[in-house]
Amino acid sequence: MDIMKTFSLEGKVALVTGAAYGIGFAIAQSYAEAGAKIAFNCRSQENMDKAMAEYKKLGIDAKGYICDVTKEDEVQKMVEEIERELGTVDILVNNAGIIKRIPMIEMTVEQFKEVIDIDLNAPFIMAKAVIPSMLKKGHGKIINVCSMMSELGRETVSAYAAAKGGLKMLTKNIASEYGEYNIQCNGIGPGYIATPQTAPLRERQEDGLRHPFDRFIISKTPAARWGTPEDLMGPAIFLASDASNFVNGQILYVDGGILAYIGKQPE
């Protein structure tokens, strides 16, 4: 047995939602380097053009599709186009998501529903669209991008935590329902990742000190740093490859140890 070959994605078709930047882009990049053909979606042409330029810089021949993953008809059309142009989807990564940081009693029902729609309903719609072809092919990998909020609560993220907690259980249920057909569904749970979106929280203050939230995260993380998108590449490849064929219904937290740590004793 060539153990390194079990981590190869050579010839596989990977669909990564919301892979125009950040975590999704890093996962797609890692899959391309492991040999997979890459498909991804955006909701706007502007983001699509920016993403395609970035993929081309890296020499990745990614295929981009304009698609709102909360719309079942658009998702079905996208999956059919991918199957015609690249082949059956072997790997689905449900990465697209949003967060609204609003105190619960100030959040409208519409705002709550919007987060649930993108962060939980969309992964259901996406999985539903690719599973039939996975069943015919006899294998498939579904990876849901969960969160530490799949396990923990925190101020102002009631909708996000509800969605990510639900996504954890959707992951387990897909594994339970389709595991016998050689379909593995697992989650990857990023910790606090240094991306352009979190950059303002990591900027030094005028007095030279770290941002209060930055200090908070460092103090809660045994690794004593923020994660990087690159930290997610290896775990994402593992969950997409044959190396994880007997791993199903699990959430792999890539968080620098936050969930294992009670925190430092006050001095």
How far is the C-alpha of 197 from the C-alpha of 178, rounded, in Å? Answer: 35
Tell me, what DSSP letter sits at residue 193? Answer: B
- Rounded to whole angstroms, the Cα distance separating 158 from 100 reads 9
Task: Provide the strand spans (E) within 160-232.
Answer: 183-190
Which residues are marked as active site? 160
* Rounded Cα–Cα distance for residues 23 and 88 (Å): 24
DSSP 234-256: HHHHHHHSGGGTT--S-EEEEST
Alpha-carbon distance 33 to 13, whole Å? 13
Closest CA to 129 of 80, 179, 184: 80
Sign of CA pseudo-dihedral 220, 221, 222, 224:
negative
Question: Buried b vs exposed e over 185-207: b needs ≥16 C-beta within 10 Å?
Answer: bbbbbbbbbbbeeeeebbeeeee
Q: Report the distance separating Cα 154 and Cα 161, nearest Å.
A: 8
